[in-house]
Amino acid sequence: MTETTLNLPQRIAAAASDKKARDIVILNLTGISTVADEFIICSAASSTQVKAIADHIEDKLVEQGYAPLRKEGGREGRWILLDYGDTVAHVFVEEERAFYNLERLWGDAPSENYDA
């Protein structure tokens, strides 16, 4: 698949993968949530890596014509959320991801693991 054939969640997952994000999961929330249609969830080993992954996602998507509507959590860097409207990226430090466990919270949502 080329970059131009990827949908937005795949573009986000690919950008996260570029910076060695771990356990990248795409949740399809269509019809389940009014918050978003997709969540992309990934982990990092440190807050420094969380920031690097989030910055890279943002930079790569701006290059492709997608600007986030909102970015949250950048100061602490333990959980950064990038809101692209119907698609939301969550970049977590591993401990925070385990604590909030969005995959379990949205357990009814179909999910797919992203493998580069």
Indicate whether 5 pLDDT > 60.
Answer: no
Whether 111 is in a domain gets the answer no
- The structure's pTM equals 0.92
- Do 61 and 74 meet the contact criterion of CB atoms below 8 Å apart? no
Whether 78 is in a domain gets the answer yes
CA distance from start to end of the chain: 11
Domain count, the chain: 1
Q: The domain containing residue 80 runs over which residues? A: 3-106
Indicate whether 89 pLDDT > 70.
Answer: yes
pLDDT of residue 1: 43
What average pLDDT does the segment 68-86 reach?
93
pLDDT of residue 6: 65
Q: What is the CATH number of the domain that holds 40?
A: 3.30.460.10
Name the residue among 2, 97, 88 with its Cα closest to residue 44: 97
Measured CA distances, 70 to 4, 80, 88, 103, 109 (Å): 24, 11, 10, 22, 23
